[in-house]
Every structure is written in C-alpha cells, then in structure tokens.
Amino acid sequence: MITDLGYIALVISLLVCVYAIATSLLGARRNDERLVQSGRNAAKLVFPLVLVACIGLWYALITFDFGVIYVADVSSKATPLFYRITALWGSQGGSILFWNLLMSAFIFVAMLRNWSEDKDLLPYVTAVACLIAGFFIFINLSSANPFLRFDFPPADGRGLNPLLRHPGMIIHPPMLYAGYTSFIIPFAFLIASLAVGRRDNLWLIKSRRWTLVGWAFLASGLLLGGRWAHDVLGWGGYWGWDPSENMPFVSWLFATAFLHSAMIQEKRGMFKNWNVLLMAFTFVSIFFGTSFIRSGLLTSVHAFAKSNLGPLFLGFMVLILGGTILLWFSRLDTLHSENKLDSWFSREGIFLLQNVLFVSTAITIFLGTIFPTITEAINGVKITVGPPFYNQVAGPQLIILVLLMGVAPLLAWRKASARALGKMSLIPAVISLIAFVLILVGSGQVIPSLLLVLCLYTFVQTCLEYIRGVRARVNSAGESIPVALLHLVQRNQRRYGGYLIHIGIVLIAVGAIGKGFYGTDVLRNVKLNDSFTVGSYTFTYRGIASVPCEFNDCQSVEAALLTTSSRDGSIIGGVYPHRDQFPAQQETSTIADITGSFNEEVYVILAGWENNGTTASFQVYINPLINWIWTGGIVLILGFLLAFWQMEPSTAIRTVPIARMVGSPSK
Amino acid sequence: MKPKFIIGIGIVIVAVIAVMGFAVAGNSSMEVQVNDVVAQRLQGVDLSQRVLKLTGVVVGDSIVYEPSSLHLEFDVVNSREDLVGSPAKTPRLRVVYQGVRPDTLVNEAHAIVTGKLSADGKFYAGQAQDSLMLQCPTKYQSAQTASR
C-alpha cells in the first residue's frame, strides 16, 4: 500500500514538473508574477513527492516485500536493516529514484532562496530545472521503474551484492549523485541568463556556491569510490581508468576549469563565452557519462545491465546541448569581453593556459573512453585503449596543471614582472633542487623524482602565500602569528580555502606518483610456518581458521601472518587477511589486511589455500605514499568548507585600479 | 584574441593530439566476442599478433584454479543464452590467466579479458592488473516477467 503510494507520488511529481514548466514560461511571457510564483511553488512540491516515492520503496525494502522486483534483486531476509536502507541505490531503478530525490532537493533549496535581486531569472530557472528533473522522473516511471512487481513473488530475495557492503560504497554513490545533480542549478541559471539576455555576471555569481558544492561532491564521490575499490576489490589499487571513473572525472575537470575561469570573468569581465561553454560542457558531460555508463554502451567493470536507456538519454542530451548552443549564438552580442588579454605572462594568461589544459585533459580522457564507440562507427571494429594510454596522455597534462597551481598566484594581472616572479620563486626553487638530488639519490629514478619535486615546488609556493600574508599582518598590525593567520584567512576565506584545496591536490598527486612509480606487488605460495620477504617486510604464515563473519549471511576464513622487519628481525605485528563466502549469492569477497606505515602501506590478501591451509597463497602489495591520497582528499574538503563559508553572493563586481595591478603580485 | 594566444593554444592542442596519437598506437586493443574469434580462426585469420579485448560469459563448471601456482583457466561463451541452450555445440574459448582468482568469477559472470590468442587455441590474459575484469555489482538485473 505504502509502496504503491510511493509510485503514485512519483507519477504526480512528473505532472507537477510539467505544470511548473508551463506556468513559469507562460508567466515569463505574459509578465504575470502570479503564474511565475505558482510555477515556483510547484517546483518546490517535487521534492516532497519524490521523497514519498523513496519512502515507498524504503518501506518495501524494510518490510521484505519481495513481490517488488527491485527489493528481491537487492535484498534478502538475511540483509541487515542498514543495508536494506542503503539498497535504495543498489541498482538501476532505485539509484535513479535516489538521483531524483537529490535533484529535487537541490531545486527545492534553490526555490526557497531570496529571488528579489534576480527575479527575471526565476521563471527560466524553474522551467529548466523542472524540465531536467521531469526527464529523470519520466525515466524512473518508464525504463527504470523500481516499483514493478512479480506475477509470482519469490520467497526470498537475492541479497545485496557483498561488494557493495562497505562504508565507501554506502557514501560514494550519494556523493557522486549529489555532485552530478547539484549542477542542475548553475546550468539553469546559465540558461535563464541567456534567455533573458542579461549582460552582467549575475548568473555566475548567483550560481557560484552551487558550482562549488557540486565540484566538492564530485571530488568526494571520486575519492570515496577509489577508497572503496582499494578496500574491497582486493587489487591494491584505487584508480583503474574505467569508464565509470573517467566520466565523472571528466565532468570534474570541466567544473574545475569553470571555477577558475569564472574568477577571470568576475575580476576582469573576460572569458564570458568560454564560461558559457564550460558550464554547458560540465552539464552535458554529466548527462553523457550517466547515459553511457547506465545504458551499458561502454564496456565497464561497473556497467549496468544493457538497457534501453541509451537512446532516451542521448536524445535528451542532444536537445539540451543543441538548445544551449542555439541560445548562446543568439546572445553572442551580450557576451562581449570587457577587457583584452595582454600577455601570456600574466594571471589571466596562466588562467587561460590552465583552462586549455583542463579542457584538453578532459577531452582526451573522454575520447579515450568513447574510443571503442568511435572506431566501431568508423570501421565496425571496437578498439579500446587501456590505462597506459591515460597515464601517457593525461598524466603529463595533470602534472603541468599542478605546477601552474604554484605559479599562477605569483603572477600579477595584465602583465607580470619577471623580476618579482624570480624573487618569489627563489626559496621554493632552492628547496626543490635540494629535494630533487636527495630523492634521486634515494630512489635512483629520474622521472618520479622530477614529478615529486614539481609537487614540492607547488606545495612550498602555496605555503609561502600563507606565510607572506601572515608576515605582512604581523608587521603591520603587530598581531601574533596564530591571530594573524586567523585574521588573514577570515578576511579572504575564498582565496585561502582555494589554496588549501591546492595543497590537497598536491598531496593527492604525491600519492598517485608514489603508488604509480614505486609500488610493487608479489604473489607467493607458502607452506605452514614458512616465511617470505617483500621489500623490508618478512611474513611468516601461521595458518588459517574459520572466524565469525561480519554479516549473518556469510562464512569467513582468516589467515594469520606474522610480520617482521627483514632488516633487523623486529616484530611489526600480525596481518589477518580474510575471505568471506556468501552462499546465497555464490560469491566470495577477498578482504585485505593492511600494515606498514603512513608512508608505505603493505596490503596483503589471502589468494587461496589447499589441504586445510597446509599451503596458502598470498598477494602482497607495497603501496608507497598511497595514504597521501586520502589525506589530500580530507585537506581538499577542508579547503572547500573554508571557501564555501564566506561566499556570500554579491552582485557587486570588485574593481581594482589597473595602474596598481601592473607588475605587482595581487594580494 | 591576439594571434600570439591563438598560436599558443594551437601549440598545446597539437602537442596533446600528437601524444594521443602515439599513446593510441602503443596501447590499443581490439574488442572481440567469443563467436568472432572462433569464426575468424575457422577462416584461417591469424589473430595471434593483435592484442584483443575479449568479452564473454563464464562457464561455471569449466573453472579450474590452482591456488599453489595461481594458475586459472576457464571457458567463455558468447552470451548467457548459450549457456542455457546446448552447451556442447556452443563455440567457446579457453581463457588462461596467471594470478589470484577474482571473487566475481562465477558461472554466468561477464568477463572482459585482455590478452592474445595463442597457437594452441587458448586465450592468454596479459600481465597487466586489468587484464581480467568481471562486471560488478550493479549489473544484476532481473529478467523475469514483470507486471504493474
């Protein structure tokens, strides 16, 4: 009953979307405030209706209603309550419903805000947001309906896939979906601004917070997905250049380019057309990625079943992209640049270069991902490119971007001074040079040493931005260092939050370089009480034993290994990798145990055993610096929170006298 | 926009395209299905020189895994329907993989194997970490009849 009510609520939500679009557009056309407000109120109603739909499906999941196909697919009598709740996004239909919940929640919040400053945009924002939300609700009611019932209900369900029972997998999809869906608001603002024909930066300023939120959610989703893959898939890695990873990464790269490029439009009134395109690319790439992954068009480890979603998604995407481009062309006269780019050697110049690199990285990853589809269309043969392609193509571009992060803040607007840049680069350059020699002597590998030093340069340069600011306050206001730091950050949280994000990115880059260049893995088959050595660790196999499983529908076998230092024989501790067997799903889950240090993770998995454990096989991965990735992720989120908090929307465009900017680094 | 910026952007784009070209040439593999490989082999086409990305469905009772040597072999067929029909007549390929048996290697799992076809007719997966992939969690969709 409650489940059926959920379905009915979803049907009504689609009708409400249609009503909101019609009244908003009619209201804008007739300049009728009452109709516009009616559309706005209707848009607010979509969220509670989709919430009722979700409650309906949750109710079915919680009460073991296996008559509902979706419930039988993702849960069973043995599935604990927590996982029955999170099973809402465990498969196609439910995950689109959850997507709709998040999307409608963002629309709800956007509709609640104060629209007095930008009243003319409201009807178009409402119409665009409801058009997109309505499309996804339509998908949920047609091709991916989680409320469908069996003719003859089974006695028990299949149970949630064991691989999905991990905190990272519980949080990763909501994060990624929140990232994806929150871009509906800035995109709606863009379309509204083009539709109205506004010449100012209002859409950009009003949607900045939304863009930053979407960006941070996408980043968190990608990092949590990596962490889940690392912990659960038993492969020691975190990133495999799979289409399901590449597509959100491409959207994230476009969004990052937009966030930087938007700064130039705000400060100098430039890159207006470029920003329109970047927001359109970000949003369309989300659509494209979702349609490709969900429709099974691309061969991915994370593919959903082949479904008929592809043409629907692609058709709607073409409509969105075509509509945006047409609208943009018709408004080219409103998007004239207020200033000209004078020199490559300036803040704007570096931002342009960095933008080109962000976009080229995104496009190369995108082309690599859809390469099989392109080649199939040309000559009927699917040609795939593997991880080495991405490492060779995207790797160099990403490392240049890391370097630019360090250089860009030093350059003045319009035209920078080489002398000033040289002076400010002296300390980081000397530190980097010394570090390069030390790392090279220690590792003997030139390329990773060089890459790590580029990261170090950017790190030092970014830290110096804080140090210079603090020193200036200490000298001018006589504040103590902690107080000066606090006031410095408080005065410009957006800027210093941004720098903190840069530090987070540097840490992630260091982790990726460490794992990619210095990582090793070894497979060993050992007899009971025999030892084997990997790197500076010696492992002695002490046998296997059945242990209680974390879940009530599995059996677990754990191996015990004593770890000692291969240098001095000192005991490091025990390692207990285990394998969980799930009879109902006929699946096994290999769970690694991790030892080592912060800088050198030792990841051990139990690959198999024979004769009740008289011999067993282990795979050991040495992952240097991998923990820097997770630490970098936390720093990145802290930086986001810092930048987000102060971003009070303001339509006032700051103007700085040009004469003061020339040749001096901006403060 | 001044010509120097257009030239600068052009240089970046040309460099990226050049790197892409080299990377594609060195790292590409041809996607094939079991039926394609079997048919081409019967026609005498030599596929042994090309890196192939083979997709197929795992035949559960053909899986042989030796934990001591980490040697894994299994058969793949073209589609799930082939497993239901008359398996004896269905074209199949033997896949050989050296490494830990993936948890998701079960009957009917969708396998993606990157490697080469050997003269002995077996398909040898490469050494790279992603040379044997099995489609994961969200793929499972019910094929049973539904009504509303």
Instruction: Give me the mean pLDDT over the B34-62 stretch.
Output: 85
Q: Of residues A153 and A598, which shows the higher confidence score?
A: A598
| CA distances, A295 to each of A133, A143, A308, A310, B138 (Å) | 19, 11, 7, 5, 12
Closest to A386 (Cβ–Cβ): which among B27, B104, B140? B27
Q: What is the pLDDT of residue B82?
A: 79
Q: How many CB pairs under 8 A join A and B?
A: 183
| CA distances, B28 to each of A376, B21, B110 (Å) | 14, 11, 21
B124 touches chain A (CB under 8 A): no
Residues of B in contact with A95 (CB under 8 A): 138
The residue type found at A134 is G
Token duo for residue A468: 């210079």
How many angstroms separate the CA atoms of B77 and B91, rounded?
A: 6
pLDDT over 70 at A576, yes or no: yes
Residue A350 lies in a domain: no
Total count of domains within chain A: 2
Across A28-37, A240-249, B83-92, the highest mean pLDDT is recorded for: A28-37
pLDDT category, A663, cuts 50, 70, 90? very low
Residues of B in contact with A234 (CB under 8 A): 100, 103
Beta-bridge partner residues of A531: A540
Q: What is the pLDDT of residue B143?
A: 31
pLDDT over 50 at B144, yes or no: no
Residue with the two structure tokens 């697919």: A73
Residues of B in contact with A605 (CB under 8 A): 100
Contact A303 B139 (CB under 8 A): yes
pLDDT category, B66, cuts 50, 70, 90? confident
Instruction: Give me the mean pLDDT over the A70-89 stretch.
Output: 87
Residues of B in contact with A300 (CB under 8 A): 135
Residues of B in contact with A150 (CB under 8 A): 144-147
- The enclosing H or E element of B42 equals helix B34-42
Write a three-state SS string for A301-339.
CCCCCCCCHHHHHHHHHHHHHHHHHHHHHHCHHHCCCCC
Contact A121, A192 (CB under 8 A): yes
Nearest CA in chain B to A382: B31
**Structure confidence by residue, pLDDT tens digits, B2-42:** 777 788 888 888 888 888 888 887 778 888 888 888 888 87
Q: Of residues A587 and A333, which shows the higher confidence score?
A: A333
Contact A184, A611 (CB under 8 A): no
**Structure confidence by residue, pLDDT tens digits, A613-646:** 898 989 899 999 999 999 999 999 999 999 988 6
How many angstroms separate the CA atoms of B73 and B96, rounded?
A: 5
Query: Any idea what DSSP says for residue A119?
Result: G
Closest to A149 (Cβ–Cβ): which among B1, B67, B148? B148
Contact A73 B141 (CB under 8 A): yes
Distance from CA of A377 to the nearest CA of B (A): 13
Which has the closest alpha carbon to A559: A522, A591, A585? A591
Residue A136 lies in a domain: yes
Residue A643 lies in a domain: no
Residues of B in contact with A301 (CB under 8 A): 112, 133-136
CA-based Rg of chain A, rounded to a whole angstrom?
Answer: 27
Residue A105 lies in a domain: yes
> Strand, coil or helix: what is A614?
coil
Which has the closest alpha carbon to A354: A421, A422, A405? A405
| CA distances, A184 to each of A211, A214, A629 (Å) | 9, 9, 29
- The enclosing H or E element of A96 equals helix A92-112
pLDDT over 50 at B141, yes or no: no
pLDDT category, A10, cuts 50, 70, 90? very high
Token duo for residue A373: 């589809």
**Structure confidence by residue, pLDDT tens digits, A248-271:** 999 999 999 999 999 888 888 878
Instruction: Give me the mean pLDDT over the A125-129 stretch.
Output: 96
> Strand, coil or helix: what is A542?
strand
Domain end call among A133, A160, A187: A160
Residues of A in contact with B103 (CB under 8 A): 162-163, 234, 587-590
Lowest mean pLDDT segment, chosen from A327-331, A429-433, B85-89? B85-89
pLDDT over 90 at A50, yes or no: yes
**Structure confidence by residue, pLDDT tens digits, A533-567:** 998 899 999 999 988 887 777 888 999 999 998 88
Closest to B5 (Cβ–Cβ): which among A147, A352, A385? A352
For testing contact with chain A, the best of B129, B141, B144, B148 (most A CBs within 10 A): B141
Q: What is the pLDDT of residue A303?
A: 46
B7 touches chain A (CB under 8 A): no
Instruction: Give me the mean pLDDT over the A353-378 stretch.
Output: 90
Residues 6+ apart with CB under 8 A from A127: A20, A21, A24, A25, A28, A39
pLDDT category, B138, cuts 50, 70, 90? very low
Domain end call among A624, A640, A655: A624
Distinct helix (H) and strand (E) counts, chain A = 21, 12
B114 touches chain A (CB under 8 A): yes
Contact B39, B55 (CB under 8 A): no
A654: left (phi over 0), alpha (psi -120 to 50) or beta: beta
Q: How far apart are the first and last CA of chain B?
A: 59
The residue type found at A664 is S
| Percentage of chain A exceeding pLDDT 90 | 51
Q: How far apart are the first and last CA of chain A?
A: 62
Contact A605 B114 (CB under 8 A): no
Contact B1 A341 (CB under 8 A): yes
Strands B110-117 and B71-77: unpaired
B44 touches chain A (CB under 8 A): no
Closest to B31 (Cβ–Cβ): which among A147, A340, A382? A382
DSSP per position, A8-61? HHHHHHHHHHHHHHHHHHHHHHHT-HHHHHHHHHHHHHHHHHHHHHHHHHHHHH
Q: What is the pLDDT of residue B10?
A: 86
Distance from CA of A127 to the nearest CA of B (A): 31
How many angstroms separate the CA atoms of B75 and B93, rounded?
A: 5
Q: Share the mean pLDDT of chain A.
A: 87
Contact A615 B67 (CB under 8 A): yes
**Structure confidence by residue, pLDDT tens digits, A391-437:** 999 999 999 999 999 988 888 777 777 788 888 888 889 999 999 99
How many angstroms separate the CA atoms of A112 and A118, rounded?
A: 13
Domain residue spans in chain B? 30-136
Contact B147, A149 (CB under 8 A): yes
Residue with the two structure tokens 């979407």: A214
The residue type found at A78 is A
Contact A69 B24 (CB under 8 A): no
Token duo for residue B35: 């039926």
Query: Any idea what DSSP says for residue A654?
Result: P
Q: What is the pLDDT of residue A168?
A: 66
pLDDT over 50 at A655, yes or no: no
Nearest CA in chain B to A229: B136
Closest to B19 (Cβ–Cβ): which among A353, A396, A615? A396
Residues of A in contact with B24 (CB under 8 A): 371, 385, 389
Nearest CA in chain A to B67: A608
Contact B135 A367 (CB under 8 A): no
B146 touches chain A (CB under 8 A): yes
Q: Write A597-600 long-range contacts (CB < 8 A, 24+).
A: A598/A627, A599/A624, A599/A625, A599/A627, A600/A535, A600/A624, A600/A625
Q: What is the pLDDT of residue A659?
A: 35
Nearest-10 crossing angle of helices A167-182, A208-232: 160
B5 touches chain A (CB under 8 A): yes
Residue A534 lies in a domain: yes
Q: What is the pLDDT of residue A585?
A: 67
How many angstroms separate the CA atoms of B62 and A286, rounded?
A: 40
Distance from CA of B79 to the nearest CA of A (A): 13
Report, at the CATH architecture level, how domain B30-136 is classified: Beta Barrel (2.40)
Closest to A344 (Cβ–Cβ): which among B8, B65, B138? B8
Contact A460, A502 (CB under 8 A): no
Distance from CA of B27 to the nearest CA of A (A): 6
How many angstroms separate the CA atoms of A509 and A506, rounded?
A: 5
Instruction: Give the residue numbers spanning the domain of A538.
Output: 519-624
Q: What is the pLDDT of residue A207?
A: 84
pLDDT category, A485, cuts 50, 70, 90? very high
Residue A107 lies in a domain: yes
How many angstroms separate the CA atoms of A408 and A462, rounded?
A: 10
Which has the closest alpha carbon to A45: A141, A134, A117? A134
Q: What is the ipTM, given to two decimal places?
A: 0.76
Closest to A384 (Cβ–Cβ): which among B29, B103, B129? B29
Query: Any idea what DSSP says for residue A238?
Result: S
Instruction: Give me the mean pLDDT over the A447-472 stretch.
Output: 93
**Structure confidence by residue, pLDDT tens digits, A508-528:** 999 999 999 999 988 888 999
For testing contact with chain A, the best of B1, B64, B103, B113 (most A CBs within 10 A): B103
Token duo for residue A295: 């429709």
pLDDT over 70 at A661, yes or no: no
Write a three-state SS string for A171-198.
HHHHHHHHHHHHCHHHHHHHHHHHHHCC
Closest to A609 (Cβ–Cβ): which among B67, B130, B137? B67
Distance from CA of A591 to the nearest CA of B (A): 10
Q: What is the pLDDT of residue A308?
A: 66
Contact A288, A321 (CB under 8 A): no
Residue with the two structure tokens 């300049």: A31
Contact A615 B70 (CB under 8 A): no
Residues of A in contact with B57 (CB under 8 A): none
Please name the residues between 72 and 91 in chain B that touch chain A, using a CB distance below 8 Å: none
pLDDT category, B86, cuts 50, 70, 90? low
Which has the closest alpha carbon to A456: A435, A477, A426, A441? A435
